[in-house]
Structure 1
Amino acid sequence: MTASAREMAAATPGSRDRYIDLLRVASLGTVVFGHWLMAAVSSDGIGNLLALVPPLQVLTWGLQIMPVFFFVGGFSHALSYRSLSRKADGRPVYAAFLRARLQRLLRPTLAFVLLWTAGALAVQLAGGGHGRLTGAALRLVTQPLWFIGIYLAMVAFTPPLLKLHERHGWGAFAGLAAAAALVDVLRFALGVPYVEFLNFAFVWLAVHQLGFLRADGRITRPAVLAAAGLAGAVLLVAFGPYPLSMVGMPGEKVSNMAPPSLALLAHGMWLVGAVQLLAGPATAWLARPRVWRGVVAANGIAMTAFLWHLTAMLAVYAAQLALGIRLPEPATAAWWAQVPVRIVAAAALTGVLVAAFKRFEAPGSSITEPGSGPRAAAGITVCLLGVLGLSMTGLGGLLDGHSATLIALPVTAPAAIGMALGGWLLVERSASPRSVRLRG
């Protein structure tokens, strides 16, 4: 039987870093709010508010909070892997680590994918899916899955990069940051084709590496890290080829996000430094029982809320259209007047969806014993490529072979879904249940 948030809060050991749990919830919550705010739906389709009102792009320097989530992931992965290694008495733990980390992440994700696929297929079999709004919704709803694909890559690379961290400390982070800088030099100064895609690894793994440093208490001067990152981001945007927005904008020639740029890495550095500066007062606040219970409860549903928040937003707009309520032109006074109501409605509907699907996010009752590392590595690779592919293809065109290019190869939505499911099963089959519980 699953313990309640009150019971889990009461059982929290004194050694647990509660601030990390708060950062996990706060980062996902900020992303959800940002998506609700940026969506500009009109009768012509779904646009981006920041593209319509460019001065608002400066908001992304606060709302683009994903680096904090990946930083938190690095911290948690370091603790989990080390804990499992200590209990394994020298036995290989890679397969066990992957299975345990993927269990809670992929179950709600795959439930979301399969349910939306069934709905999209039903719409297209009935002859729908070709309207501007419907087609845009079927493309939009899977786009946030990119972050889950990248996160899976971080899980896969944790053991070797943790060893690199233990040997070189800040030098390991510096090496990844230097590699990201070199990629941008090759991209912008020398025009080397396709090299920019390497920064999907270098930039995000560098941020992840900062989580390792926090786990070992080695971020001792967060103000210096924040100042260096902020100064670097400002200079790169002001004098380099980088746009102001830290999220992708429709039609832009250069994006800080896809693929990630050196400017985004600098942005991540300042965010990590900033949240570290707040760690002291936030930890004291989290010592209050009521506050901590709220964070524990939110952590238990955060991934489910993230997966379904766009569904809720789209449903609010659909209800508005069905009721004959006019959709004002985005960024007009009438549009802004409706924003608070739409956000409250989307939050309420997200709560309903969370209540329906939170069971898939509940932690499993068993962890894993050492198993086949190669099988687990192959499984997570196939799975993350499938998730990334689905984030690119969307769920429109399920019946007509619509494809997107993933690492120079075309992939369709059915193929991507098959890869995600097949990869997850490979990881699951790489080890058998055992009563060793992970931490973090």
Structure 2
Amino acid sequence: MGHTAAALAAATPATRDRYVDLLRVGSLATVVLGHWLMAAVTPQGMGNLLAVVPALQPLTWLLQVMPVFFFVGGFSHALSYRSLARRQPGASVYAAFLRARLQRLLRPTLVFVLVWTAGAAALQLAGGGGGLTGAALRVITQPLWFIGIYLAMVALTPPLLRLHERHGWGAFAALAGAAAAVDLLRFAAGVPYVEFLNFAFVWLAVHQLGFLRADGRITRPALLAAAGLAAAVLLVAFGPYPLSMVGMPGEKVSNMAPPTLALLAHGLWLTGAVQLLARPAAALLRRPRLWRAVVAANGIAMTGFLWHLTAMLGVYAAQLGLGFALPEPATAAWWAQVPLRLIAAAALTAALVAAFRRFEKPTAAPAPATPVAPATTPAPAPGSGGLAATGIVLCLLGILGLSMTGLGGLLTGHTAILIAVPITAPAAITMAIAGWALVTHPRPPHT
């Protein structure tokens, strides 16, 4: 049977949790829509609509759904790792797990990076790269931060899954407590740089909630949602946290970069809320037509996410190139153009997905093993686990570094600070490619 959406949907086992697939697609689609709506583009550069109209910032409590994506990631990683461990016990399971999780994530990401790098280099060699073009080159890689964080979650799944299996909710509580301690040291004691630890503690705590869902341990979603929402409201109302759950230009404190305890509380209420919808959604997803649509969307979701900003910038570039004025953001003329811009951005994203979707397709699976195991199991490739771990660290550091440097100043040595170390875009790209090679092409065993 082919790998068409209809064939994959028809072959879906009855035990599959279809709601998780819907959440994955829905969370990415919401992020894409949020980016398209929040972009305040003028001929001089790019801003954020939420900074222009602060009254819209409460919408981020609905549109900031990255916690849902990481929550779903935890669920999927738990199931995937346990399945591999059952079928492939031994030291090689970690390397196999990394390769399986990274195949469909990093291939389309590296293609996106290489295409944009080539374009940025050509543009800057020709003397371009200022004004709106320069702003585009700076922001085009910013959404890659989430891929870097996701890679860290993949790398840490085995030890954190063992921690979950031993302590359950206690493992989540430990990570949440560590996030609270970091914010206390940051805001009450003024300890410098400690806040960056919450890139790990906050997002890993959300990821841990996915483990709890995988084991059916989120039994009171209404209580979880209410507690998370109440905590988020209290922290924003009485603490040092801003209202917006996304970063705002010029703010001294952002709930996103680095993440705060308020963002973790926001993640709790979102987790509880989506769990409350699980049963009715599961009933709807038994309808063949709807399920085929979800399967089809999952097959292109990462490609669509990677190229959606390119599509949005293409729409604005076309508008300027055709001589149409860009109204001031949030004016009546600007709002009147919003529906047309969204339709055009969706159409251009679809065209880009059609061009690049093949890089997201899974590679051919190996032939199934014989039912009877051989008398002896071949030893894993020497150092394959260590090489894979090194590779994923290089990947995540490279992708995070590129999200910070952007592609502006590509030829002039522009740097950004990554974990107290200056990094350039070429260095970040080299690290990501080298890491990909280590994870996906492990050293062969000695013969």
TM-score range, shorter chain: over 0.9
Per-residue CA deviations over 1:174-205 (Å, capped at 9, x if unaligned) read: 00000000000000000000000000000000
Look up the equivalent residue of 1:34 and give its one-letter code: G
Displacement of 1:431: 6.3
Residue 405 (structure 2) aligns with: 393
Aligned ranges for residues 138-177 of structure 1 at < 5 Å? Answer: 138-177=137-176
Partners of 1:349 and 1:125 in 2: how far apart? 27
CA contact (8 A) 1:95 1:431 kept: no
Q: What SS class does the counterpart of residue 144 from structure 1 fall into?
A: helix
Look up the equivalent residue of 1:79 and give its one-letter code: L
Look up the equivalent residue of 2:345 and give its one-letter code: A
Look up the equivalent residue of 2:289 and give its one-letter code: R
Partners of 2:436 and 2:366 in 1: how far apart? 15
The two structures have a TM-score, normalised by structure 1, of 0.97
Residue 436 (structure 1) aligns with: none
Residue 336 (structure 1) aligns with: 335
Aligned ranges for residues 55-66 of structure 1 at < 5 Å? Answer: 55-66=55-66
Partners of 2:329 and 2:44 in 1: how far apart? 11
Look up the equivalent residue of 1:392 and give its one-letter code: M
Look up the equivalent residue of 1:415 and give its one-letter code: A
Residue 324 (structure 1) aligns with: 323
CA contact (8 A) 1:248 1:257 kept: yes
Q: What SS class does the counterpart of residue 41 from structure 2 fall into?
A: strand
Closer, same or farther: CA 354–432 of 1 in aligned 2, 3 Å: farther
Partners of 2:271 and 2:11 in 1: how far apart? 29
Closer, same or farther: CA 141–217 of 1 in aligned 2, 3 Å: same
Per-residue CA deviations over 1:24-69 (Å, capped at 9, x if unaligned) read: 0000000000000000001221110001111101000000000000
Aligned ranges for residues 68-217 of structure 1 at < 5 Å? Answer: 68-130=68-130, 132-217=131-216
Residue 220 (structure 2) aligns with: 221
Per-residue CA deviations over 1:69-91 (Å, capped at 9, x if unaligned) read: 00000000000000000001344
* Count of aligned pairs between the two proteins: 432
Displacement of 1:430: 2.6
Displacement of 1:370: 4.7
Closer, same or farther: CA 431–262 of 1 in aligned 2, 3 Å: farther
| Greater mean alpha carbon deviation, residues 119-128 or residues 362-371 | 362-371
Partners of 1:148 and 1:88 in 2: how far apart? 27
Displacement of 1:364: 1.2
Closer, same or farther: CA 94–48 of 1 in aligned 2, 3 Å: same
Partners of 1:387 and 1:345 in 2: how far apart? 29
Matched, 1:413 2:425: yes
Partners of 1:432 and 1:113 in 2: how far apart? 28
Matched, 1:3 2:3: yes
Partners of 2:443 and 2:229 in 1: how far apart? 44
Residue 20 (structure 1) aligns with: 20
Residue 54 (structure 1) aligns with: 54
Displacement of 1:317: 0.2
Partners of 1:414 and 1:2 in 2: how far apart? 39
Displacement of 1:351: 0.3
| Percentage of matched positions with identical amino acids | 79
Partners of 2:380 and 2:341 in 1: how far apart? 48
Q: What SS class does the counterpart of residue 415 from structure 1 fall into?
A: helix
Look up the equivalent residue of 2:16 and give its one-letter code: R
Aligned ranges for residues 290-301 of structure 1 at < 5 Å? Answer: 290-301=289-300
Closer, same or farther: CA 109–400 of 1 in aligned 2, 3 Å: same
Per-residue CA deviations over 1:360-393 (Å, capped at 9, x if unaligned) read: 0001113699541111111100110000000000
Q: What SS class does the counterpart of residue 142 from structure 2 fall into?
A: coil
Partners of 1:217 and 1:370 in 2: how far apart? 33
Residue 437 (structure 1) aligns with: none
CA contact (8 A) 2:91 2:385 kept: no
CA contact (8 A) 1:44 1:133 kept: yes
Partners of 2:257 and 2:199 in 1: how far apart? 8
Partners of 2:365 and 2:423 in 1: how far apart? 34
Q: What SS class does the counterpart of residue 55 from structure 2 fall into?
A: helix
Per-residue CA deviations over 1:144-179 (Å, capped at 9, x if unaligned) read: 000000000000000000000000000000000000
Displacement of 1:271: 0.2
Look up the equivalent residue of 1:335 and give its one-letter code: W
Q: What SS class does the counterpart of residue 218 from structure 1 fall into?
A: coil
CA contact (8 A) 1:2 1:362 kept: no
Residue 438 (structure 1) aligns with: none
Residue 265 (structure 2) aligns with: 266
Partners of 2:2 and 2:307 in 1: how far apart? 22
CA contact (8 A) 1:5 1:297 kept: yes
Task: Mark the runs of 5 or more structure 1 residues left unpaired by the alignment.
Answer: 434-440
CA contact (8 A) 1:95 1:370 kept: no
Displacement of 1:212: 0.2
Per-residue CA deviations over 1:275-300 (Å, capped at 9, x if unaligned) read: 00000000000000000000000000
CA contact (8 A) 1:96 1:367 kept: no
Look up the equivalent residue of 2:43 and give its one-letter code: S
Partners of 2:327 and 2:232 in 1: how far apart? 35
Following TM superposition, the consecutive aligned residue runs of length 4 or more in structure 1 with deviations greater than 3 angstroms are: 89-92, 366-371
Q: What SS class does the counterpart of residue 313 from structure 2 fall into?
A: helix
Look up the equivalent residue of 2:174 and give its one-letter code: G
Look up the equivalent residue of 1:353 and give its one-letter code: L
Residue 29 (structure 1) aligns with: 29
Residue 374 (structure 2) aligns with: none
How large is the Cα RMSD of the aligned pairs? 1.4
Task: Mark the runs of 5 or more structure 2 residues left unpaired by the alignment.
Answer: 368-378
Partners of 1:115 and 1:164 in 2: how far apart? 40
Matched, 1:373 2:385: yes
